[in-house]
Amino acid sequence: MTRPDPRKSAALSAALSGAVDLGALKARADAARQRAAAPPPAAGGGGAAGGPSPWVLDVTEATFQSVVERSLEIPVVVELTASWSPEAGQLSPVLEKAARAGGGAWLLARVDLDASPRIGQAFGVQSVPTVVAVAAGQPVGAFEGPLPEADFAQWIDRLLDALRDRLPGIRAAEAARTGEPVEEPEDERFTAAEDAFERGDFAAAEAAYEAILAVEPGNAEAKAALAQVRFTARAEGLSPDAVAKADANPDDLDAQLAAADVELATQDVEQAFKRLVDTVRRVFGEDRDKVREHLVGLFELFPPDDERVAKARRNLASALY
């Protein structure tokens, strides 16, 4: 057989997705490691092709769990082979050459079924050679028999294209090979929030950032963005004469908060902070808490190491205690 029958490959992949019990295989591998104290798999695929490669491994039942773990970052192409098979002898050099050329975008894991028959049983192997692609711990593609170099190149390219957005190691390896920086995939949650902000739908943007923080309370980017959204929403409704009104009515708490927002929006940052610290000194109880919370919210609009924020924090602490 010179090329895989697409119908047969699809059927094999579907069958494997339900047949391979990687959890059971892991348990056997763990037990085998404990019994034999086997070392981690060493790089294989040396020989005349250019010496050992970190992307070509010979694995056994005792070390196969490492394949599952590696598949969380990059696809692992498992070559299930045997020394007595002439077809396997034809395919193996093709896979090894491609793995070397891949530069770490995927890993070739070779399994000698004579030495590790349980791996073949787990994959339900019916003929040798059989090739199974594993990603995120699950089989995602397979074919049987030898394959010309050009056909395998197409097969692996399709696999990488399908998995590139799911497995971060693919892009990292490709970028390292070309010298290009790795682009972080966009976070759809932030994209939705930013789109709402740009539309002027501040309520939707606020809700989107709050949803992120409900799942990731420590997400600094979401915290800063939420503070920005809340401030912008307030600032749009401010009166141009807010500062004058606050100066004329020093006991009007809401007027002081609005004036501080206007001063901050017009880049009079230190005066905005001073106004609220002075207000904290004059009020008590719930009013003091209200002003303090407003001021702390303004602090979140700036980097933590901003000297104006550091100074205002010191002044606030002095006013409170």
Q: Are residues 224 and 258 in the same domain?
A: no
Q: Are residues 245 and 230 in the same domain?
A: no
Q: Are residues 227 and 268 in the same domain?
A: no
CATH number at residue 63: 3.40.30.10
Residue 32, SS3? Answer: helix
DSSP state letter for 43: B
The residue among 72, 67, 76, 60 whose CA lies nearest residue 120 is: 60
Looking at the structure of the chain, the number of domains it has is: 3
Residue 6 confidence (pLDDT) = 45
Q: Are residues 109 and 61 in the same domain?
A: yes
Structural domain of residue 222, as residue ranges?
194-235
Residue 279 covered by a domain: yes
Residue 218 covered by a domain: yes
Residue 179 confidence (pLDDT) = 67
Residue 45 covered by a domain: no
Residue 58 confidence (pLDDT) = 94
Q: Are residues 227 and 294 in the same domain?
A: no
Please classify residue 228 by burial: count the beta carbons closer than 10 Å to its beta carbon, then call 0-12 exposed, 13-18 middle and 19+ buried: middle
Residue 264 covered by a domain: yes
The residue among 164, 300, 173 whose CA lies nearest residue 231 is: 300
Rounded Cα–Cα distance for residues 128 and 143 (Å): 10
DSSP state letter for 182: P
Q: What is the largest distance, in Å, between two alpha-carbon atoms of the chain?
A: 96
Rounded Cα–Cα distance for residues 276 and 259 (Å): 9
**Could you read off the pLDDT of 69-80 as tens digits, one per residue?**
889 899 999 999
Which residues are paired to 80 by β-bridges? 111, 130
Helices (H), 130-167: 149-163
Q: Are residues 101 and 120 in the same domain?
A: yes
Residue 14 confidence (pLDDT) = 47
Whether 58 and 112 have beta carbons less than 8 Å apart is answered as yes
Residue 23 covered by a domain: no
Residue 50 covered by a domain: no
Residues in the chain: 321
Residue 147 covered by a domain: yes
Rounded Cα–Cα distance for residues 83 and 268 (Å): 78
Q: Are residues 105 and 202 in the same domain?
A: no
Q: Are residues 227 and 300 in the same domain?
A: no
Planar angle of CA 213, 73, 187, nearest 5 degrees: 30
> Quick count: other Cβ atoms within 10 Å of Cβ 236?
10
CATH number at residue 272: 1.25.40
Residue 34 covered by a domain: no
> Quick count: other Cβ atoms within 10 Å of Cβ 251?
9
Whether 184 and 176 have beta carbons less than 8 Å apart is answered as no
Q: Are residues 163 and 271 in the same domain?
A: no
Q: Are residues 171 and 99 in the same domain?
A: yes
Task: For the chain, list the strands marked E by DSSP.
Answer: 56-59, 76-81, 107-112, 130-135, 138-144
Tell me the residue type at 291. Answer: V
Q: Are residues 172 and 209 in the same domain?
A: no
Q: Are residues 208 and 304 in the same domain?
A: no
The residue among 80, 57, 64, 81 whose CA lies nearest residue 25 is: 64
Please state whether the peptide bond connecting residue 129 to the residue before it is cis, i.e. omega within 30 degrees of 0: yes
Residue 114 confidence (pLDDT) = 94
Average pLDDT for runs of 10 along the chain of length 321:
44 47 48 41 40 84 86 94 93 95 94 94 92 91 92 95 91 80 73 91 94 89 89 87 93 94 92 95 93 92 88 92 81
**Could you read off the pLDDT of 141-189 as tens digits, one per residue?**
999 999 999 999 999 999 999 999 888 899 989 888 776 665 566 788 9
Whether 189 and 208 have beta carbons less than 8 Å apart is answered as yes
